[in-house]
Amino acid sequence: MDNILRVESLRKNFGGVVALDGLTFEVQKGAIKSIIGPNGAGKTTLFNIISGMYRPSSGGVWFLGESITGSPPYVTAKRGISRTFQNLQLFANMTVRENVMVGRHCRTKTGFLRSALRLPGAAKEEKRTAAEAMDILRFVGLEESAQRGASTLPFGKQRVVEMARALATDPKLLLLDEPASGLNLRETEEIGRLIQKIRDTGKTIIVVEHDMSLVMAISEEVLVLDHGRRIAEGPPRSIQKHPEVLRVYLGEEIPHAQSPES
Amino acid sequence: MELSTILQYAFAGIKIGSIYAMVALGFNIIYNTTGIINLAQGEFVMLGGMFTVTLAKLMPLGLAFPIAVLAVAIVGCLFERAAIWPARRSSVITLIMITIGGSFLLKGAAMQVWGKNSFPLRPFSSEKPINILGAWVQPQVFWIIGVLAVVMILLTLFFRFTLTGKAMRACAANRAAATLSGISVDRMVLLSFALSAGIGAIAGIVITPVTLVDYGCGSMYALKGFAAAVLGGLGVSAGAVVGGLTIGLMECFGAALPFQGASSYKDGFALLILFVFLCAKPSGILGRAAISELKKF
Amino acid sequence: MGKKNLFGLASLVVVLLVVPHLLGNPYYLGVLVWCGIYGLVCMGLSLFMGYCGQISLGHAGFCALGAYISGILTTRFGFSPWPALGVAMLASLLVAFVVGLPTLRLKGHYLAMATLGFGMIIFVAAGGDPFGLTGGPSGFWGIPKLSVFGVVLDSEVKWYYFVWAVVLVCLVALLNIVHSRVGRALRSIHGGEPAAKAMGVHTARYKTQTFLLSAALGSLAGSFYAHYVGFVNPHPFGLNFSIHLLTMVVVGGMTNLWGAIAGTALLTILTRYFRVFMDWGVFFDGFILVIIMLVFPEGLFVGAARRLGGFVSRKRSTGVPGQASRQAAGGG
């Protein structure tokens, strides 16, 4: 297998605060890779840089062998990187289906003039977009909620809508930022299955997650960050026993905190 | 240009620049505690002038000054309670519209109360210009500069050394943490409106003797004060003063440029500076870019 | 664009055709001409504010550009009205591009202040008259009448039909935009800019394009104004007018093109027909803005209906985008 994403010596400072401190890692094509680490380890900053929301202070990101360092989000989306957000960012002013249709934005092309005149091509594309959105909603099991306002769904479902919306961009690489946060046990399991189902369609997935049971269940590889640096990387089993990880996660004060097996 | 002419323009620039600086300070105080740009800031300046003009007919200026400042501060509080507080969870665009609405409300009310005329106020001390190296300077200019200096010093002392001032800075730095440590963010927001309304009023009172005051003069002060705030770095107190003086000076020297109609476009210079800075360095002279990336708005 | 909008358009056409026969006095018809002219600007603003989630406090400046350039070119340079109108529009687009380019990349407040400043600059420039073109504070007369397909628009009735025909064409085009990929992209910016970006929406470009579109409509309305009145001076194009435009959009519900038309009609009829506000205009614009934002953020009509009985069904929110849940949209 070859790598789909390569991150090299990535640094990001906010004023005097160092969020990422020379981070280097790779992601294999078709894998589920989890990134874990305490709060403030730089996980979300990393996502923001890969997806083009932030520019790194130094270092670079390569996607499919080409540099995407500092590319704006609309470019990275078109190249095949999509993401979800830690604190849900659904378009509350739209229905579920419309949310997913926005995801098709970077794969469609009707502009102001063509839509204003409602040229035949524009109408056809609109129809196709709607159908594609329904296909994706069917895939994630939300076709019944298609016409509901996005903000009226229960929280767990909203997370799924956000994943559907990200899927709609036809990504090769999907970045999921804490997909299980705020979900109950059953919903977490469901989302885990969905993530694996997505991976089985040939997509590569990076998951930032705090829920260790989910991380251990679905990932091929785990990367552990602390203070913007890599402290461990490897298959879930080896990570569980890694001394550095235990130190960072368990510390001295709370020896019984969430053990990976729980 | 001769030295005396340069000095003449410089004093004019510092005079009006000090006013912009005070307006910018007002912007910053509210921006720091709430993240809102209060578009009604200029109306506080106007109200300060108007109240004083009216009060000065009934009492000595020394008494009218503080009463007017207090009155405008109260207006600021009422405005915050009635319009800003109920919308504290709204989107930025909503808050912008509320503050511009508030600005028009105050402006319209002022027009009803005082009419459309401009009003003069007599200078604080003698009207006789003082000759400085060939430039003739009105004594009121020194009052303006002095008042700006006093306001700056008092604000610095307030934010550095009083508990309330520190609490307000805590709100600016991290609202959630401030709330957790028992600071009433609500009260700090209210206070910030009172404070910046008061400073706006002071600016209005000291400038009225040289420029007159009318119901509609607030918008221009707000715009240039904002330009000053952006120039200096939004939220930075020292930046407000630097920005205000810079804009004042550029405006006055710009008006003297040797092309036709330069003076009629002097109001354009502030905006031009604003644009250039928005393009090149939105964080301003003394601001920090990386921090503004993290700010909510 | 959905049945509801087709029904709305049909009803609007019927009303527009019937109303002139009910009004005896041409002055009243003139009020409706104003509704149409303002309606053009407000539709553009509605797209920019309600759908794109941006704000402009200086749209009067674009109207002024349209009016002045049309007026100056026709009276001083011998242009015929239509080419002059075209030049005015191009100039407005250019200016909007320059104003919008740096500021639209930044967030809400900067744009608000930059457009506010732009509006004031245009106002000051028109009144200053350093090149002897604008006629200074008193403006200038003698702007020729507009003619359409050989018919000179020399009466209120002709203007009425002409302006509203233009409004209808623009309304249809804008409704088409709103119910398309572009409209969804715009609403996604309002709904949450980071997510819109992540979905590949080039947010800065869309904001700029929408700003340009609304500027062009402002310029068009301004040109119509100049030819309709035959006279321009700076006074009507100040900050007050920019805010009045904002108020009209907001009253009708800014997330809705129909609301823009309805709000414009309501306030224009109240001010010009019943002359209720007179000198209180500034005060009332401010008052209405604050009240609407605090009490009826979705606009007077929808908001009042909901308050009265809560019978505005959820369904409507799918027909007219972003209505029901725009409060939740938020976003910085």
Q: Which of A188-192, B73-77, B200-204, C191-195 has the lowest mean pLDDT?
A: C191-195
| B102 touches B30 (CB < 8 A) | no
Q: Is the dihedral of CA C16, C18, C23, C25 positive or negative?
A: positive
Q: Does position B142 have pLDDT exceeding 70, yes or no? A: yes
Q: Which of A197-206, B87-96, C262-271 has the lowest mean pLDDT?
A: B87-96
Residue of C nearest to A111 (CA): C182
Q: How confident is the model at residue B134 (pLDDT cuts 50, 70, 90)?
A: confident
> Do β-strands A58-63 and A66-67 pair in parallel, antiparallel, or remain unpaired?
antiparallel
C243 to chain B, any CB pair closer than 8 A? The answer is yes
CATH classification for the domain delimited by B3-125+134-294, as one of 3.40.50, 1.10.620, 1.10.3470, 2.60.120 = 1.10.3470
Concatenated DSSP letters of B159-180: HHHSHHHHHHHHHHH-HHHHHH
> If you search the block for the tokens 């400046």, which residue do you land on?
C61
Say how far apart CA A156 and CA A145 lie, in whole Å: 13
| B68 touches B205 (CB < 8 A) | yes
Which residue type, as a one-letter code, is found at position A204?
T
The vertex-C4 CA angle with C1 and C6, nearest 5°, equals 60
B58 to chain A, any CB pair closer than 8 A? The answer is no
> Exposure of B181 by Cβ count < 10 A (0-12 exposed, 13-18 middle, 19+ buried)?
exposed
For chain C, what is the mean pLDDT? 85
On chain A, the residues whose CB falls within 8 A of the CB of C188 are: 91, 94, 102, 105
Q: Does position B285 have pLDDT exceeding 70, yes or no? A: no
| C162 touches C152 (CB < 8 A) | no
Amino acid C311: pLDDT: 47
Say how far apart CA B256 and CA B252 lie, in whole Å: 7
Amino acid C110: pLDDT: 78
Q: Does position C102 have pLDDT exceeding 90, yes or no? A: no
B neighbours by CB contacts (3+ pairs under 8 Å): A, C
Q: A67 or A253, which is more confident?
A: A67
Q: C113 or A260, which is more confident?
A: C113
Helix (H, G, I), strand (E, B) or coil at C148: strand
Say how far apart CA B99 and CA C112 lie, in whole Å: 11
Amino acid C318: pLDDT: 40
Amino acid B146: pLDDT: 95
Q: Interhelix angle for B218-232 vs C108-128, to 10°?
A: 130
Q: How confident is the model at residue C106 (pLDDT cuts 50, 70, 90)?
A: low
Q: How many angstroms away from the CA of A260 is the closest CA of chain C?
A: 32
Residue of C nearest to A114 (CA): C177
Amino acid C133: pLDDT: 84
- CATH for the stretch A1-80+172-262: 3.40.50.300
In chain C, beta strands by DSSP E = 147-148, 151-152
Q: B267 or A115, which is more confident?
A: A115
* DSSP 8-state secondary structure symbol assigned to residue C317: H
Is B92 in Cβ contact with C120 (below 8 Å)?
no
| B107 touches B46 (CB < 8 A) | yes
Q: Which of A31-45, A144-158, B278-292 has the lowest mean pLDDT?
A: B278-292
CB neighbour burial string for C258-270, b if at least 16 within 10 angstroms, e if fewer: bbbbbbbbbbbbe
| B42 touches B220 (CB < 8 A) | yes
Q: How confident is the model at residue B292 (pLDDT cuts 50, 70, 90)?
A: very low
Residues A5-61 pLDDT 10s: 999 999 998 877 888 999 999 999 999 999 998 888 889 899 999 999 999 999 999
Q: How confident is the model at residue C248 (pLDDT cuts 50, 70, 90)?
A: very high
* Residues with Cβ within 8 Å of residue B286, at least 6 apart in sequence: B232, B233, B236, B238, B239, B242
Domain residue extents for chain A: 1-80+172-262, 95-170
User: Which of C52, C189, C289 to mutate against chain B (most B CBs within 10 Å)?
Assistant: C289
Amino acid A259: pLDDT: 44
The length of chain C is 332
Residues C218-227 pLDDT 10s: 999 999 999 9
CA A180: distance to chain centroid? 12
> Exposure of A130 by Cβ count < 10 A (0-12 exposed, 13-18 middle, 19+ buried)?
middle
Q: List residues in chain C touching A: CB distance below 8 A.
A: 1, 173-174, 176-177, 180-185, 187-188, 190-192, 194-203, 209, 213, 255, 314, 317-318, 321-322, 324-326, 328-330
Average pLDDT over residues B168-185: 83
Domain residue extents for chain B: 3-125+134-294
| A222 touches A34 (CB < 8 A) | yes
Instruction: Locate B183 and state its tokens.
Output: 């600071």
Say how far apart CA B223 and CA A61 lie, in whole Å: 42
CB neighbour burial string for C242-257, b if at least 16 within 10 angstroms, e if fewer: bbbbbbbbbbbbbbbb
Please give the ipTM for the structure prediction.
Answer: 0.88
Amino acid C331: pLDDT: 32
Helix (H, G, I), strand (E, B) or coil at B259: coil
Residues A87-96 pLDDT 10s: 889 998 899 9
